[in-house]
Structure 1
Amino acid sequence: MNKSTEQTLWGLLENITENLKGKRLADVFRFVSFCPSETYGPHKHLRIEINYVKKGNCILHLDDESVTFREGEIMIITSSINHLFEAGSEGTTLMQLEFLPEVFSYFNFKSEGGTAAFIPVTLFSEGNRLIKIVNNVCIMRVVQRIVNELELKSQYYQYLVVMYYAELLILIYRYMDESYLPICTNDSLKKAIAYIRFNYQSEITMNDVAEYAGISERYLRRLFSQYLNLSPLDYLNQMRINKAVELLRNTEMSVKEVCYLCGFQSPQYFSRIFKQQMGLSPREVAK
């Protein structure tokens, strides 16, 4: 890195930290435990809230739906969304991070033509008021690094935190690209994708997906073919393999453990589908 590039990088980091309101890189950063069935709320706030379920399980209640989160899963709650937290029957421990949306507003990604490709804050909108993330070790580790830096406050910690926020935003966008559909897609297809996304770890059938979406299996297959150019089962397996790759590369889990955690009922079938999609065996990816 030459001197001018170094000065530009440090200048950018200094500018971001100086311009954050009150220089608050986060309003909440902690590990917190809740007693069995303990509730908190209902409430809402301007902050974006990220909770990683470190232990136990919990339910997040919104005005018109309730979503269950298990150990290892992440919830991202948008600004100004009314929500109530309820701990599971055995209690819950969370890693919490809450920050104002303006933290992300400094990362305006540009397209090749020089115009804004997207505005990061729009990711956290009414349309994405609650994002559920399952088995994403990379996002969990970035959140943990932010919390650790904010707690320790070692020299230059604020610059590291800003860079971690940029990494966090990119990882969330990557997750959204892999797991969500464009806004313009069919409502029934959105429901089907949401069901698969939230239940891919379970032994689900395409009939289950079609029933949830309120359509026939035949129409379900037609929608997937029209919008995604693949079958519902192919999409389910694609999601499972994406999660399996992440776990194999970022954890010490065995191939068999990853197989069952990602919803496959047979290690042999898992290995066959994995090699079809990745061109490598699970053991080769895990090396």
Structure 2
Amino acid sequence: METKQMKSHLPEVLDHIIENLKGQRLADVFRFISFVPGETYGPHHHVRIEMNYVKKGTCMIHLDKETINFHEGEIMIICSNVEHTFEAGSKGATLMQLEFLPEIFTSIDSTMKLSSTGLGQASVNLFSEQNHLIKIVNNVRIMRAIQRILDELSSKKTYFQHLVVMYYAELLILITRYMDENILPVCNNYAMKRAITFIRSHYKEDISVSIIAEEAGIGERHLRNLFVKYLDLSPLEYLNQIRINKAVELLRNTEKSVKEVCFECGFKSPQYFSRIFKQQMNVSPHKLVK
């Protein structure tokens, strides 16, 4: 009797999503797995969306024309039908893995009517073969959403399906927000994409406009013109935006000091960091210290 009463109070939208997914698993892979140094897997591809959080060590994902490195605390999202090879780093790697069919996000989109807000269509483009691989750095909330999905799928406690669907919806929104804030969602310019990818992957380092332009394969003037055209920002302004976004994440979710966050995010001096932070956030970084 108690179970029936509880079920009658469960949100209908969650019941509807679960019913639509009937016969499909909420995840095909959900586990922690360790790889020995240099261990490889692939090349292979699959319809599933693959998410890996690097819990320990380093690893590489080899695609057709590029190799992306991942370090502890970073997240990779490999989209459907992208051929890739995994390679563990020199000290091995431990991953938190989650793989599921794209239909799960599609079902959430349609049932919750996220497309009316623009999120639904964004997710269709976001998790497409064209994006190949998404790298997420220093985002504790996304990591925790993945962790909660794994925990519920492993424990299978009462109503775990409902919680998993809720966490998938949270994951979809958090990833879409991250991409909106950190990378240009719609841009077909190859040089611009290379520049943005390089900045997002190397923002901790001492990089300059000339280095970014070289990595993008174009001149500095052309690079500046592209950033103004697509983002209405200079390359340096975009770099600082990325660094401040990471700084906010660290200040809110770790015990690190303002000085530690300053240098970890690629700034050379706490004074300059505080000035740029206040310009972008309208508050001192000290106000966000956990």
Tell me the TM-score normalised to structure 1 length: 0.92
Q: What is the deviation of 1:188? A: 2.1
Tell me what 2:45 maps to. Answer: 44
Q: What is the deviation of 1:133? A: 0.5
Q: Distance in 1 between matches of 2:54 and 2:119?
A: 34
Identify which range, 191-200 or 176-185, moves more after superposition. Answer: 176-185
Q: What is the deviation of 1:110? A: 3.4
Tell me what 2:77 maps to. Answer: 76
Tell me what 1:3 maps to. Answer: none
In structure 1, runs of 5+ residues without a counterpart are: 1-5
Q: What are the Cα deviations for residues 154-206 of structure 1, in whole angstroms up to 9, with x where unaligned?
A: 11111000000000001111111112214245332222111111111111111
Q: Which amino acid aligns with 1:16?
A: I
**1:239 aligns with one of 242, 259, 266:** 242
Tell me what 1:145 maps to. Answer: 148
Q: Distance in 2 between matches of 1:9 and 1:189?
A: 46
Q: Distance in 2 between matches of 1:75 and 1:182?
A: 17
Change (3 A) 1:116 1:224: closer
Q: Which amino acid aligns with 1:37?
A: G
Q: What is the deviation of 1:111? A: 2.5
Change (3 A) 1:259 1:12: same
Q: Say whether residues 1:167 and 2:170 are aligned partners.
A: yes
SS of match in other structure, 2:32: strand
Q: Say whether residues 1:258 and 2:267 are aligned partners.
A: no
Q: Which amino acid aligns with 2:98?
A: L
Q: What is the deviation of 1:142? A: 0.4
Q: What are the Cα deviations for residues 39-81 of structure 1, in whole angstroms up to 9, with x where unaligned?
A: 1111111111000000000000112211100111000001111
Aligned residues: 280
Change (3 A) 1:7 1:121: farther
Q: Which amino acid aligns with 1:167?
A: E
Q: What is the deviation of 1:10? A: 2.3
Q: Distance in 2 between matches of 1:87 and 1:110?
A: 38
Identify which range, 91-100 or 271-280, moves more after superposition. Answer: 271-280
* Residues 79-158 of structure 1 aligned to structure 2 (within 5 Å): 79-108=80-109, 109-111=114-116, 118=121, 120-158=123-161
In structure 2, runs of 5+ residues without a counterpart are: 1-6
**2:274 aligns with one of 271, 275, 282:** 271
Q: Which amino acid aligns with 1:213?
A: A
Q: Which amino acid aligns with 2:52?
A: N
Q: Which amino acid aligns with 1:219?
A: H
Tell me what 1:216 maps to. Answer: 219
Q: Which amino acid aligns with 1:12?
A: V
Tell me what 2:65 maps to. Answer: 64
SS of match in other structure, 2:286: helix
Q: What is the deviation of 1:11? A: 2.1
Q: Which amino acid aligns with 1:172?
A: I
Q: What is the deviation of 1:37? A: 0.6
Tell me what 2:285 maps to. Answer: 282
8 A contact 2:126–2:185 mirrored in 1: no
Q: What is the deviation of 1:7? A: 6.2
RMSD, aligned CA: 1.9
Change (3 A) 1:117 1:82: closer
